[in-house]
């Protein structure tokens, strides 16, 4: 995390880029005006000349990463494209775990701010191409979008634990064992699925969920 020389002039883009690097390295607490000015070799006032405040910077960082994840090849199969977008977002959140909390916070601040409509648009366009009734488009797109963020967030949270040098198989075993030892009166379900957790593949499991929702969407009027 060595501070860079200030070769080029400061710009909104360079600031956002530096912010993303700091967020990736240390999560949300890694991004402060102190760490940011050190990395950019400048003063806090210089940042404020290009960016109105920290929330706007976080919003920009989020939008920048999401935009990168939403670009998908046209394959002619809306179902495949939805799976590709879902996997792209899943991997973006995997690489930038701070994204999932940020998306939630930003949603609560401005419901239809920059990130949400783009994601809705990208997925919704393919949903509408599935050939299901128009009345179901909004609900279907919501279900897919929320599942993607929720599942990806859960996965990113798990992945963080593994960052601490913990071995993956070891972690899953430990989690499964812990679940199996839960009180059977209070947590019978958690106990029963402990075995499944032990050796599942995150991406495969995630895509199975996407398929489950796609099945629900097309169950009554196949496209």
Could you list the residues that contact DNA (CB under 7 A)? Answer: 6, 9-10, 31-34, 41-46, 48-50, 53-55
Which of 41/193 has CB closer to its own copies? Answer: 193
Minimum CB–partner distance for residue 61 and DNA (Å): 13
SS (H, E, C) the chain: CCCCCCCCCCCHHHHHHHHHHHHHHHCHHHCCHHHHHHHHCCCHHHHHHHCCCHHHHHHHHHHHHHHHHCCCCCCCCHHHHHHHHHHHHHHHHHHCCHHHHHHHHHHHHCCCCCHHHHHHHHHHHHHHCCCCCHHHHHHHHHHHHHHHHHHHHHHHHHHHHHHCCCCHHHHHHHHHHHHHCCCCCCCHHHHHHHHHHHCCCHHHHHHHHHHHHHHHHHCCCCC
Minimum CB–partner distance for residue 92 and its own copies (Å): 15
Per-residue interface string for the shown chain with its own copies, residues 104-143, x marking contact by CB under 8 A: xx-xxxxxx---xx--xx--xx-xx-----xxxxxxxxxx
Which of 48/138 has CB closer to DNA? Answer: 48
Could you say which of its own copies, DNA, none residue 124 binds, taking C-beta under 5 to 8 angstroms by partner kind? its own copies
Q: How many chain residues bind its own copies (CB under 8 A)?
A: 68
Is residue 101 a contact residue for its own copies (CB under 8 A)? yes
Minimum CB–partner distance for residue 20 and DNA (Å): 15
Q: Which residues contact 204 (CB under 8 A, 6 or more apart)?
A: none
Q: Which positions lie near its own copies, rule CB under 8 A? A: 27, 97-98, 100-101, 103-105, 107-112, 116-117, 120-121, 124-125, 127-128, 134-143, 145-147, 149-151, 153-154, 156-158, 160-161, 175, 182, 186-190, 192-193, 196-197, 200, 205, 208-209, 212-217, 219-220
């Amino acid at each position: 995390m060595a501070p860079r020389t200030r070769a080029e002039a400061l710009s909104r883009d360079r600031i956002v880029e530096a912010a993303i690097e700091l967020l990736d390295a240390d999560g949300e607490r890694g991004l402060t005006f102190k760490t940011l000015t050190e990395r950019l070799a400048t003063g806090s006032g210089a940042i404020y000349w290009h960016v109105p405040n920290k929330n706007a910077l976080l919003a920009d960082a989020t939008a920048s990463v999401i935009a990168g994840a939403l670009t998908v090849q046209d394959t002619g199969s809306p179902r495949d494209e939805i799976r590709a977008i879902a996997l792209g977002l899943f991997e973006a959140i995997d690489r930038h775990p701070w994204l999932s909390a940020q998306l939630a916070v930003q949603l609560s601040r401005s419901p239809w701010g920059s990130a949400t409509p783009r994601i809705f648009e990208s997925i919704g366009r393919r949903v509408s191409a599935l050939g299901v009734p128009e009345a179901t488009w909004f609900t279907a797109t919501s279900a897919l979008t929320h599942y993607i963020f929720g599942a990806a967030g859960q996965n990113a949270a798990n992945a963080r634990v593994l960052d601490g040098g913990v071995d993956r198989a070891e972690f899953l075993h430990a989690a499964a064992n812990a679940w199996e030892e839960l009180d059977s009166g209070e947590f019978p379900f958690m106990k029963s699925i402990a075995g499944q957790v032990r050796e599942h593949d995150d991406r495969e499991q995630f895509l199975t969920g996407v398929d489950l929702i796609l099945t629900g969407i097309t169950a009554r009027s196949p496209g």
